[in-house]
Structure 1
Amino acid sequence: MKKWMLGLLLTVVSIFALSACGDEGDKKADANTSGSEDGYESTTIRLAYNLPQDHHIAVGIENFAKEVVERSDGKVNVQVYPAGQLLSDKDMNQSILSGGVEMGVNSSTLWSSTVPAMGVFDVPYMFNDYSAVGEAVNGEFGDKLRGAMEEKGAKVLMFADYGYVQFANNKRKLTKPEDFKGLKIRSIGDLPSELIQAYGASPVFMGGGEVYMALQRNTVDGATSGTTAMLQRKYDEVTKYLTVNNYAYLEFLLAVNKDYWDKLPEKTQDLLTEVAAETETWIREQAEKEDTESAKALEEKGMDVYYVPEEELDVWKEAAAPVRDVFIENAGDLGKELLDLIDKK
């Protein structure tokens, strides 16, 4: 009887022991699964840009960084270096490609020296309205550009709409292409320089932060830029005339060093992609509003603003036609494919 009771007792104890081990194993498995699904690996991403901090793209980028940090509980730490503190716009791309900085924001115009097809945004009078740009970059057009960038070593996380580009100068009102003759105009890249020459002026390339002083010292007579940056960089203090002809639609790219991106955990990649998509939408919504309001503000500050009538744009387009040929020559088959995609719209 005693042996029977002892055997029963040992059996019960064994069952409880096995059950406890099983529960403990389940708990450990659950803990490991939770860690892989819910946690982020710690990493620090340096993000540089050269725009004024109150520009709508800069505001969007700052919020992008903040959201990434908050949603990862601080594990994905995005350190932002604004307004050229770390890199000038002229040095940005090479730093991204070499891994000198993990992430950066720069114009499609400046990226065109590395990926010539990026110059498509500078082909004069390609995009008639704001919505057309969003449709293009979120479709086959944008996919082709993203692929070309990745081949060079940079992944595009976001197309950030800067808005339309205009001309300011301190010599005379520009009401037709012939009025450009003899002027020295600050350019922002190769194709804008071609356009400036097609209109009869001389292009002078310089970074955004150098323009105010150059205008003040008459090193240049005018500059091409968006009205948002003109307002924030106080062009109204050093130029008199503004011509609004919407000749190009400038994009800025939030790009990541491709090798760095490929080594990030998938969970971190998904977070960055998600927040970038949300930010891109917000920035696009701001572009039209900011263009309109900044042009009005410049006029209120004393600039003589001339809006080229729609019925007169054909003259401007005809004079700019050679620039399209230069783009195709530089960008090759991909450039022609991109133009064909836009022409079909």
Structure 2
Amino acid sequence: MTLSRRQILKYGTFATAGATLFGTQSLLAPHSHAATTLTGVTYLPDSYKALTYGSNRFVEMLQESGGDALTVEFYDSGQLLKVDEQLPALRSRSIDFMFHTFSYITRSIPILGVTGLPGVVGELYRHPERLRQGSPLMELINEVLAEDNLYLLTSGGGILEPEYLWSTEKSPIRSLDEVRGKKIRIVGFEATQAFEPYNVGAARIPSSETYMALQRGTVDAGIFNISTIIGRSLQEQLKYCYKLPITGFSVAPFMLRDTWDNLDDDVRGVLQQAADWYDENFIEYCNNDIYPNEYWPQVEDAGIEIIEPTEEDLETFNAGVQDVWDHWKGEVGEEVGSRAIALALGEA
């Protein structure tokens, strides 16, 4: 039987026999050439113009600067691996790097949850420098990731504009009280926990299936970053945006720690140069350029009503997140969790 490239990767990801057959190197790494070959993936399609801006340029920089030292094979739009396949593929060495959304993998990599904690995201959004390369918070995150043989090259220079509550005309959410009893599409674990006291029906629906879920009434609302709204044309199914900052995330490049450490100096230098660019430009471009100048005008043109939360709603919501923080600190350890939150809030 002849296997496609995707099948080879998929089987290599989930079958231990692949590790025995191919050893510790990437399944696709050529053994007969001097150049290092790195295979990378993202599940995001090009319709996510803002989110793929950074990864596209990152890969271009590797290709432009790699010379004879580095060859890059990159697959976007889930061509090679679906969203839930990426992390297992990285860990099994079937791929060498991936761009991933933090909120999808905080259950597998709990330390990343600090970027999505309700009550913390607003501060991180207003102070992106706290997640820049070399910052104490980034150093702490990578110290914890190293224990799992993972390495975050860069957060992208902060987190994206927070995710808000978007709802349909039939089931409006214009205040915190109107959240109660609604069926809401939620991906991030931290956001799911934050809404448990409101008796919501939380549904973890992939972004690719959300348009139909809203259209059919499977869910009444969703917690979305504006990139998801525009990237999936969800403004066609929504009527209200309740701008309560609930959770947040970034999209960033990951490698295995030992893969990074064992790279030739020249190859590591090429990757670091691309990571430096990503750190300086990705979040800055999304939050301060394409979102205010292109995406939010499209939302307004679609007739979506934008509702700012009252001070009372903000205080009520933030007052209820301590249980979420405590649960998260229980996953990462009290000392690490307390330190990470303090760094994110600018208190350490």
Equivalent residue of 2:250, what SS? strand
Aligned mates of 1:238, 1:133 — CA distance in 2: 32
The whole-number CA distance in structure 2 between the counterparts of 1:217 and 1:311 is: 33
Give 1:145's match in structure 2, choosing from 121, 137, 141.
Answer: 141
> What are the Cα deviations for residues 172-220 of structure 1, in whole angstroms up to 9, with x where unaligned?
3323222111111111121121123233312111322222222222222
Structure-2 residue corresponding to 1:44: 37
Rounded Cα–Cα distance in structure 2 between residues aligned with 1:336 and 1:135: 15
**Shift of the alpha carbon at 1:310?**
5.0
SS in 2 for 1:159: coil
Instruction: Tell me, in whole angstroms, the C-alpha distance in 1 between the residues paired with 2:298 and 2:310.
Output: 20
> 1:4 matched to which residue of 2?
none
For residue 223 of structure 1, what is the amino acid of its counterpart? G
Identical counterparts, % of pairs = 19
Q: Write the letter of the residue equivalent to 2:197.
A: A
Determine whether 1:315 maps to 2:308. no
User: Is residue 2:64 matched to residue 1:70?
Assistant: yes
Q: Spell out, residue by residue over 1:21-54, the C-alpha distance to the aligned partner (whole angstroms, 9 max, x if none).
A: xxxxxxxxxxxxxxxxxxx951222221122324
Question: TM-score scaled by structure 2?
Answer: 0.81
Deviating runs (4+, > 4 A) in structure 1? 309-312
Choose from 51, 56, 76 the match for 2:50: 56
Question: Comparing both structures, which one devotes a greater share of its residues to strand?
Answer: 1
CA contact (8 A) 1:48 1:81 kept: yes
In structure 2, the gaps of 5 or more residues are 1-32
1:137: how far off? Answer: 4.1
CA–CA separation in structure 2 for the residues paired with 1:309 and 1:45:
49
Residue 261 of structure 2 is matched in structure 1 by 262
Residue 153 (structure 2) pairs with residue 157 (structure 1): yes
1:50 partner letter:
Y
Paired residue secondary structure (2:323): helix
Q: How does 1:161-310 map to 2 (within 5 A)?
A: 161-170=159-168, 171-289=170-288, 290-293=290-293, 294-309=295-310
Distance 1:236 1:255 in 2: 31
Q: For residues 184 and 218 of structure 1, what CA distance do their matches in structure 2 show?
A: 9
One-letter code of the match for 2:51? I
Deviations 1:255-309 (A, max 9, x none): 0133433332121011101211112211121132233342332121122221224
Could you report, residue by residue, the CA deviation over 1:76-104 in whole angstroms, capped at 9, with x for unpaired residues?
22222112222222222111111121111
Aligned pairs (5 A) from 1:76-95: 76-95=70-89
Count of residues in correspondence between the two structures? 306
Alignment of 1:326-337 (within 5 A): 326-333=327-334, 334-337=336-339
Q: Residues 178, 330 of structure 1: CA spacing in aligned structure 2 closer, same or farther, 3 A cutoff? A: farther
Change in Cα spacing, 1:306 to 1:81, as seen in structure 2 (3 Å) is same
Aligned-pair RMSD on alpha carbons? 2.2
Given that 1:47 and 1:103 are in contact with CA atoms closer than 8 Å, whether structure 2 keeps it comes out as yes
2:37 partner letter = T
- Structure 1 or 2: more helix by fraction: 1
Deviates more, 1:97-106 or 1:189-198: 189-198
Whether the aligned pair in 2 keeps the contact of 1:141 and 1:338 (CA below 8 Å) is yes
Distance 1:199 1:137, change over 3 A: farther
Gap change, CA 1:314 and 1:145, over 3 Å in 2: same
Tell me how far apart the structure 2 counterparts of residues 291 and 241 of structure 1 sit (CA, whole Å). Answer: 18
2:13 alignment counterpart: none
1:235 to 1:74, Cα distance in 2 relative to 1, 3 A: farther
CA distance in 1, matches of 2:175, 2:91: 40
Contact in 2 for aligned 1:45/1:103 (Cα 8 Å):
yes
Q: Select which of 128, 135, 140 maps to 1:133.
A: 128
Go from structure 1 to structure 2 and tell me whether the alpha carbon gap of 1:60 and 1:74 turns closer, same or farther (over 3 Å shift).
farther
- Residues 167, 174 of structure 1: alpha-carbon distance in 2 compared, 3 angstrom cutoff: same
Alpha-carbon contact 2:103-2:248 (below 8 Å) kept: no
Distance 1:276 1:224, change over 3 A: same
